[in-house]
């Protein structure tokens, strides 16, 4: 009975799925293939190397400090960093007093007036998280033509190959390439959007944020080219997304080496134990 | 594999098994470390360690409650009578010998900053808010098991073993203290 | 338990004797995974994966209990508490990455365990109950994993919850009320998140209970083995301890090396970037996919694209559930007298050149976007999947001529068995 029932069920599912297959294949063969510029002209992130890459990678603290400066002077106007606290900046090589001073530079940390209970803003202290530039999403949407600037805390983990993606996006603005216009004459960048071939649908709401050389004056004297600033802020955002990354890899090496050693021991132990049961081949 | 013979062979075999089991034990112990330490205070909790209190608005005889490390903090401005009473006690008769001066900051002997945590089992003593029972010695009274603290927050009667704790603090200006 | 030559537990000291007479736990362990459990001596490394699955179940429970100490199941803060774990909790990043990748490794190990069962027909009499309990464990694992993936409350969590509960909406008449009931609302929100957390915490312990039944059922007939020939005598077996404890210990070391590599060096590779974006009910990710271990079943779900009497959606849901439910019937679908695929030439061909490529194709299509040619390929593979289990397997098992079996495990290992004076092997050798 089970086999007869199974046979019927199996044939049933097969017939139905093959019906879908035939219908789908017919449509596929007869329908005009509509190409889409977003598929053909979207580019994978650029190949860009960072100090923290690879199994032995370590943060370049000077770069992270520069990246913080770019974030503060350029990105922070629209993008928050809500999961990062000022105290975390100590990991970039700042001492306690410097962290306090850096936190106090952010004068828009929301709080409640202890006397009146009214909402106020005050300068940050190390225990505060980075303040968001907008009080809420509605305000963010209203101020930005309905495109809410995303929080950047986790940006490099929230995109495939995220660090390179951020770098590519920042340096990927430009005119619509001629091949695209030739192939899709109706393709256009609407008002208020900007063409960027590293953005999945090619038109991004964010205006080019890093546009001129020396837009930021680096404290350490590094030449602030567009590429340099973009790379620094990408590295900084890789750190905000995963501050424990280097610690994780370093712990990984200790664990892997120990496991390798233990596994080799376990292998010889197993061989030794099994030698007692080794078949005595009579052939 | 060559036949192993004699004691040497036996010892070597045992050694491998013992080493393998030991390695497993070390690995297990290594796993316990993060499992235990994850329960210790996290970085954000450790960072929340200082509280600022403005004492300018406290009238003599009044106290305010603040929060320090998620625990109540009593800041009280003593009246002259309370100061005199605290100073008139024979320090050597106290359960924990401390003078009022030792429990306050120089120049601000009228500002008494203590944790609002009874040293017996951690209840919040009464006496800080208007109209609360202040106990037999006019300071604080813990209703849980009847500990009486005097005007300097020192234990005088009841089961509590020590005086109310004075946390580390300093005057960052004339009127503001920073605790922790 | 079952073999007369199984060693008996002897308490070594007064305390153990005291305990043995009152609560014979040491005896239980001795008989379950100690020297008191005789195991076929010819088990290959494919037989390591049961113990490894048990290890990962325990590891998931341990790391999961730890994470639950820091996580809050509330839509307002859930995403933030996960970041709190990653950033501020001592070793929290390790706990979370170990738990997330541990789920993947649990599934890898269990899939190998299941496919070992397919190849060696481990489901055949007298081991049907072990197999049925195993399928129950797998279903419970799928439910647990799905609900666990919702907890971080990222975009994939939210949309995964919406899509999977939406499957129940395909059921005629009761579908939509059922979906609303499952979610406790019209879309995933606090009610859904809280119940998923509660059940995600509960189900692993239910799994552990069924695992105990699974092992109990295993100890009645004893382990199967690569020849599929039943144990006949003592020389066919070795005590579990120390032989298989040592072998499993080595196997555990190897898998932990892979596991540690993923946790420490590629912790997010098996996950999806969209889950690092907080759940947003107003924006669907471009490409919703489940975790990789559901890809084959997700491909079957999506393979039904045209209505055929019933709606395509309902067909997809039925087929997806049927794809696992057919496993329950395997012991009765496969009627071959021989177990091991090593001695079943036709069965073996369909396994290696039919089922395995079919699963690989379904896996790839399940992770690919729902567009051609992936949909058409997955339709062919889905058809094969059902034909394989429900049509090919019953037919092959009755028409194929098995190759000669060894007389015993002893003969298979040692090359000859002095008891094998008669029998197929002797004739075949001549």
Task: Give the tens place of pLDDT for each residue, C126-151.
Answer: 999 999 999 999 999 999 999 999 99
Residues C297 and C323 sit within 8 Å (Cβ to Cβ): yes
Taking alpha carbons only, the member of B84, B66, B69, B78 closest to residue B105 is B78
Residues C49 and C113 sit within 8 Å (Cβ to Cβ): yes
CA distance A46 to chain B (A): 36
B145 is catalytic: yes
**pLDDT tens, A42-90?**
889 999 999 999 999 999 999 999 999 999 999 999 999 999 999 999 9
At what angle are helices C155-168 and C312-333 packed, to 10 degrees?
Answer: 80
A78-81, Cβ contacts within 8 angstroms, sequence gap of 24 or more: A78/A133, A78/A140, A78/A144, A78/A149, A78/A206, A79/A133, A79/A149, A79/A150, A79/A151, A79/A152, A80/A130, A80/A131, A80/A132, A80/A133, A80/A134, A80/A151, A80/A152, A80/A153, A81/A129, A81/A130, A81/A151, A81/A152, A81/A153, A81/A240
Q: Which residue of A has its CA nearest to B16?
A: A269
* Neighbouring subunits of B (3+ Cβ pairs under 8 A): A, C
Give the pLDDT of residue B42: 93
Distance CA C110, CA C58 (A): 14
CA distance B84 to chain C (A): 48
Chain B residues touching residue A255 (CB < 8 angstroms):
30
CB nearest C303 (choices: A17, A28, A150)? A17
Helix (H) or strand (E) segment spanning residue A119: strand A119-122
B54 phi and psi angles, rounded to 5 deg: -90, 120
Give the pLDDT of residue B13: 67
**Neighbour-count burial of B131, counting CB atoms closer than 10 A to its CB (0-12 exposed, 13-18 middle, 19+ buried):** exposed
Among A84, A259, A268, the residue to mutate for chain B (most B Cβ within 10 A)? A268
Q: In chain C, where are the structural domains located?
A: 32-416
Chain A residues touching residue B23 (CB < 8 angstroms):
258, 261-262, 265-266
CA distance A84 to chain B (A): 11
Tell me: pLDDT of A97 over 50.
yes
Among B16, B19, B58, B64, the residue to mutate for chain A (most A Cβ within 10 A)? B16
Average pLDDT, chain C: 93
Please report which confidence band the pLDDT of residue C421 belongs to, taking 50, 70 and 90 as the band edges.
Answer: low
Chain B residues touching residue A261 (CB < 8 angstroms):
23
Among B16, B34, B39, the residue to mutate for chain C (most C Cβ within 10 A)? B34
Say yes or no for a CB contact (<8 Å) between C66 and B37: no
B90-93, Cβ contacts within 8 angstroms, sequence gap of 24 or more: none
Tell me: pLDDT of C203 over 90.
yes
Kindly state whether C420 is in contact with chain A, defined as any CB-CB distance less than 8 angstroms. no
Kindly state whether C249 is in contact with chain B, defined as any CB-CB distance less than 8 angstroms. yes
**B74 - beta bridge partners?**
B65, B114
Please identify which of the residues B91, B145, B161, B162 carries the catalytic annotation: B145
Chain B residues touching residue C62 (CB < 8 angstroms):
35
Q: Any idea what the Cα angle at residue B25 is, between residues B19 and B29, rounded to 5°?
A: 145
Please report which confidence band the pLDDT of residue B40 belongs to, taking 50, 70 and 90 as the band edges.
Answer: very high
Say yes or no for a CB contact (<8 Å) between C277 and A150: yes
Give the pLDDT of residue B4: 44
Please report which confidence band the pLDDT of residue C332 belongs to, taking 50, 70 and 90 as the band edges.
Answer: very high
Structure tokens, C114: 């299941």
Please report which confidence band the pLDDT of residue C430 belongs to, taking 50, 70 and 90 as the band edges.
Answer: very low
**pLDDT tens, A184-243?**
888 888 888 999 999 988 999 999 999 999 999 998 889 999 999 999 999 999 999 999
Structure tokens, C375: 């949909």
CA distance B30 to chain A (A): 9
| Threshold 0.90, pTM exceeds | yes
Average pLDDT over residues C340-367: 96
Please report which confidence band the pLDDT of residue C328 belongs to, taking 50, 70 and 90 as the band edges.
Answer: very high
Domains, in order of start, for chain A: 38-83+150-246 (1.10.760.10)
Give the pLDDT of residue A283: 40
Give the pLDDT of residue B23: 94
Tell me: pLDDT of C427 over 60.
no
Give the pLDDT of residue A188: 85
CATH fold for the domain made of C32-416 = Cytochrome Bc1 Complex; Chain C (1.20.810)
Say yes or no for a CB contact (<8 Å) between C90 and B42: yes
Say yes or no for a CB contact (<8 Å) between C87 and B35: no
CA distance A267 to chain B (A): 9
- What is the percent of chain C with per-residue pLDDT over 70, rounded to a whole number? 97
CB nearest C246 (choices: A18, A24, A269)? A269
Chain A residues touching residue B37 (CB < 8 angstroms):
none
Distance CA C213, CA C207 (A): 10
Tell me: pLDDT of A180 over 60.
yes
Say yes or no for a CB contact (<8 Å) between C88 and B38: no
Helix (H) or strand (E) segment spanning residue A125: none
Q: Which residue of B has its CA nearest to A278?
A: B1
Tell me: pLDDT of C221 over 80.
yes
First to last CA, chain A: 48
Distance CA C230, CA C223 (A): 9
Residues of C belonging to the active site: 219, 223, 247-248, 291
The complex's ipTM works out to: 0.93
Distance CA A281, CA A278 (A): 9
First to last CA, chain B: 68
Q: How many Cβ atoms sit within 10 Å of the Cβ of residue B4?
A: 13
**pLDDT tens, B41-99?**
999 888 877 788 888 888 898 899 988 988 999 999 999 999 999 999 888 889 999 99
CB nearest A262 (choices: B1, B16, B23)? B23
A181 phi and psi angles, rounded to 5 deg: -65, -40
Please report which confidence band the pLDDT of residue A1 belongs to, taking 50, 70 and 90 as the band edges.
Answer: confident
Average pLDDT over residues A16-42: 86
Average pLDDT, chain A: 91
For the residues of C177-235, what is the DSSP string, one character each? Answer: HHHHHHHTSSSSSHHHHHHHHHHHHHHHHHHHHHHHHHHHHHHTT----TT-PPP-SGG
The residue written with tokens 């859930």 in the block is: C78
CB nearest A262 (choices: B13, B27, B48)? B27
CA distance C336 to chain B (A): 41
Helix (H) or strand (E) segment spanning residue A163: helix A162-170
Give the pLDDT of residue C428: 52
CA distance C142 to chain A (A): 23
Interface of C with B in 63-122 (CB under 8 A): 66, 69-70, 84, 87-92, 94-95
Chain A residues touching residue C382 (CB < 8 angstroms):
13, 17
Structure tokens, C397: 């098992």
Give the pLDDT of residue C412: 87
Could you give the maximum distance between any two Cα atoms of chain C, in Å?
76
**pLDDT tens, B109-131?**
889 999 999 999 999 999 988 88
Residues C192 and C158 sit within 8 Å (Cβ to Cβ): no
Chain C residues touching residue B34 (CB < 8 angstroms):
90-91, 94-95
Among A8, A10, A157, A205, the residue to mutate for chain C (most C Cβ within 10 A)? A10
């Amino acid at each position: 009975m089970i086999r007869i029932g199974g046979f019927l069920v199996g044939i049933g599912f097969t017939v139905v799925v093959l019906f879908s297959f035939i219908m789908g294949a017919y449509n596929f063969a007869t329908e005009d293939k509509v190409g889409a510029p977003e598929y053909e002209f979207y580019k994978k992130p650029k190949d860009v190397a960072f100090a923290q890459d690879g199994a032995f990678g370590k943060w370049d603290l000077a770069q992270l400090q520069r990246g913080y400066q770019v974030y503060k002077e350029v990105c922070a106007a629209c993008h928050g960093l809500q999961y990062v606290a000022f105290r975390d900046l100590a990991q970039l090589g700042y001492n306690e007093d410097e962290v306090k001073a850096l936190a106090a530079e952010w004068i828009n940390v929301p709080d409640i007036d202890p006397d009146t209970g009214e909402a106020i803003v005050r300068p940050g202290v190390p225990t505060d998280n980075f303040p968001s530039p907008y009080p809420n999403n509605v305000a963010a949407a209203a101020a930005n033509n309905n495109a809410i600037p995303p929080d950047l805390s986790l940006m490099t983990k929230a995109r495939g190959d995220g660090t390179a993606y951020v770098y590519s996006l920042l340096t990927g603005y430009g005119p619509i390439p001629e091949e695209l216009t030739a192939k899709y004459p109706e393709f256009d960048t609407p008002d208020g959007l900007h063409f960027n071939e590293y953005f999945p649908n090619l038109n991004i709401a964010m205006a080019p944020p890093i546009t001129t050389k020396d837009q930021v004056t680096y404290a350490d004297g590094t030449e602030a080219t567009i590429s340099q600033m973009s790379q620094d802020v990408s590295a900084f955002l890789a750190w905000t997304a995963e501050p424990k990354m280097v610690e994780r890899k370093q712990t990984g090496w200790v664990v892997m080496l120990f496991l390798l050693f233990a596994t080799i021991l376990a292998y010889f132990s197993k061989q030794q134990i099994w030698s007692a049961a080794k078949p005595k081949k009579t052939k | 594999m060559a036949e192993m013979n004699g004691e040497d062979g036996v010892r070597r075999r045992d050694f491998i098994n013992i080493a393998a089991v030991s390695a497993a034990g070390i690995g297990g112990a290594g796993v316990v470390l993060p499992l235990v330490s994850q329960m210790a205070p996290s970085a954000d909790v450790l960072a929340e360690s200082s509280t600022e209190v403005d004492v300018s608005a406290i009238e003599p005889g009044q106290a305010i409650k603040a929060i320090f490390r998620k625990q109540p903090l009593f800041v009280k401005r003593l009246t002259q009578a309370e100061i005199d009473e605290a100073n008139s006690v024979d320090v050597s008769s106290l359960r924990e010998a401390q003078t009022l001066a030792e429990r306050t900051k120089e120049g601000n002997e009228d500002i008494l900053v203590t944790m609002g945590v009874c040293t017996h089992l951690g209840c919040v003593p009464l006496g800080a808010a208007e109209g609360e029972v202040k106990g037999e010695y006019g300071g604080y009274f813990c209703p849980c098991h009847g500990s009486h603290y005097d005007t300097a927050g020192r234990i005088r009667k009841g089961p509590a073993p020590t005086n109310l704790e004075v946390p580390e603090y300093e005057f960052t200006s004339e009127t503001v203290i920073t605790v922790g | 338990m079952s073999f007369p030559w199984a060693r008996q537990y002897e308490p070594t000291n007064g305390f153990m004797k005291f305990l043995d007479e009152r609560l014979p736990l040491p005896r239980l362990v001795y008989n379950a995974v100690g020297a008191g459990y005789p195991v076929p001596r010819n088990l290959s490394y494919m037989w390591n994966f049961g113990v490894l699955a048990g290890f990962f179940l325990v590891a998931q429970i341990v790391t999961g209990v730890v994470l639950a100490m820091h996580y809050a199941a509330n839509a307002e803060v859930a995403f933030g508490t996960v970041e709190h774990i990653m950033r501020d909790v001592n070793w929290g990043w390790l706990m979370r990455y170990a738990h997330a990748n541990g789920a993947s490794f649990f599934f890898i190990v269990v899939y190998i365990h299941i496919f070992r069962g397919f190849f060696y027909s481990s489901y055949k009499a007298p081991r049907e109950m072990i197999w049925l309990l195993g399928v129950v464990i797998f279903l419970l694992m799928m439910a647990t994993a799905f609900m666990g993936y919702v907890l971080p409350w990222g975009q994939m969590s939210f949309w995964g919850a919406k899509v999977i509960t939406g499957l129940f909406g395909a059921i005629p008449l009761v579908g939509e009320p059922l979906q609303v009931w499952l979610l406790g609302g019209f879309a995933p929100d606090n009610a859904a998140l809280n119940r998923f957390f509660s059940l995600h915490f509960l189900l692993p312990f239910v799994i552990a209970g069924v695992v105990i039944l699974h092992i109990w059922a295993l100890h009645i007939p004893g382990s199967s083995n690569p020849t599929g020939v039943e144990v006949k005598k003592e020389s066919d077996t070795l005590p579990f301890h120390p032989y298989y404890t040592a072998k499993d210990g080595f196997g555990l070391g190897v898998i932990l090396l892979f596991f540690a590599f993923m946790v420490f060096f590629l912790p997010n590779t098996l996950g999806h970037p969209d889950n690092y974006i907080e759940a947003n009910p107003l924006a669907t990710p471009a490409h919703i996919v489940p975790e990789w271990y559901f890809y084959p079943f997700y491909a079957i779900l999506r393979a039904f694209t045209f209505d055929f009497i019933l709606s395509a959606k309902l067909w997809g849901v039925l087929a997806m559930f049927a794809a696992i439910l057919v496993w329950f019937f395997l012991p009765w679908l496969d009627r071959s007298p021989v177990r091991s695929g090593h001695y079943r030439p036709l069965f073996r061909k369909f396994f290696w050149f039919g089922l395995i490529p079919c699963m690989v194709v379904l896996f790839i299509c399940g992770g690919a976007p729902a567009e051609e040619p992936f949909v058409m390929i997955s339709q062919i593979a889905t058809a094969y999947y059902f034909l394989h289990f429900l049509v090919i397997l019953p037919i092959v098992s009755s028409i194929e001529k098995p190759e000669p079996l060894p007389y015993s495990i002893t003969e298979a290992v040692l090359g000859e068995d002095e008891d094998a004076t008669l029998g197929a092997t002797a004739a075949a050798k001549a």
